[in-house]
């Protein structure tokens, strides 16, 4: 089947070539917008970390759900510098580490106390 392009309007031909690129851009923007919803939760988790650790963990879990949804829309958000995605992801990775440290600190302190008590008992 031979297609005669003189029967297609220039606008239609332009749309045929540009539409796939627009769809990809929309997909990326949708993923970033979904991520940004979670990023707000991440920043709130960081703020709550020192005053209410359980609430911080809940906020961070919400962030992770948004991140998973965003990845399922367009996984390239994990490896791009567009719209500050790389710095946002690194920030939330640090928040996660800080939450884990805040969780671990009381356990470590308790362990040191037990060690000190044991050391005193041996004297």
Instruction: Give per-residue pLDDT as tens, 10-56.
Output: 555 555 555 554 445 699 999 999 999 999 999 999 999 999 999 99
Query: Mean pLDDT of all residues in the chain?
Result: 84
Rg, C-alpha atoms of the chain: 25
Query: What percent of the chain clears pLDDT 90, i.e. is strictly above it?
Result: 61
The number of folded domains in the chain is 1
Task: Please provide the size of the chain in residues.
Answer: 123
Residue 78 belongs to a domain: yes
Q: Is there a domain that residue 62 lies in?
A: yes
Is the per-residue pLDDT at 89 higher than 60? yes
Q: Provide the pLDDT for residue 45.
A: 98
Q: Is residue 15 part of a domain?
A: yes
Structural domain of residue 90, as residue ranges? Answer: 7-122
> In the predicted model, what is the mean pLDDT of residues 57-83?
96
pLDDT of residue 119: 72
Q: CA dihedral defined by 61, 99, 82, 29, rounded to 10 degrees? A: 10
- Is there a domain that residue 2 lies in? no
Q: DSSP secondary structure string, 20-44?
A: HHHHHHHHHHHHHHHHHHHHHHHHH
CA 98 distance to own-chain centroid: 15
Is 80 exceeded by the pLDDT of residue 66? yes
Q: Name the nearest CA neighbour of 49 among 111, 97, 107, 108.
A: 97
Q: What is the pLDDT of residue 65?
A: 99
């Amino acid at each position: 089947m031979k297609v005669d392009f003189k029967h297609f309007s220039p606008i239609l031909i332009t749309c045929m070539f540009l539409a796939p690129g627009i769809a990809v851009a929309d997909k990326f923007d949708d993923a970033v917008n979904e991520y940004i919803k979670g990023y707000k939760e991440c920043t709130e988790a960081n703020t709550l970390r020192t005053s209410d650790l359980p609430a911080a963990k809940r906020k961070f879990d919400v962030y992770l759900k948004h991140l998973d949804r965003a990845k399922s829309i367009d996984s390239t958000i994990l490896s791009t510098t567009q719209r500050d995605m790389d710095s946002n992801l690194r920030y939330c990775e640090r928040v996660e580490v800080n939450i884990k440290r805040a969780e671990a600190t009381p356990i470590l302190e308790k362990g040191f106390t037990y060690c000190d008590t044991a050391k005193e008992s041996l004297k």
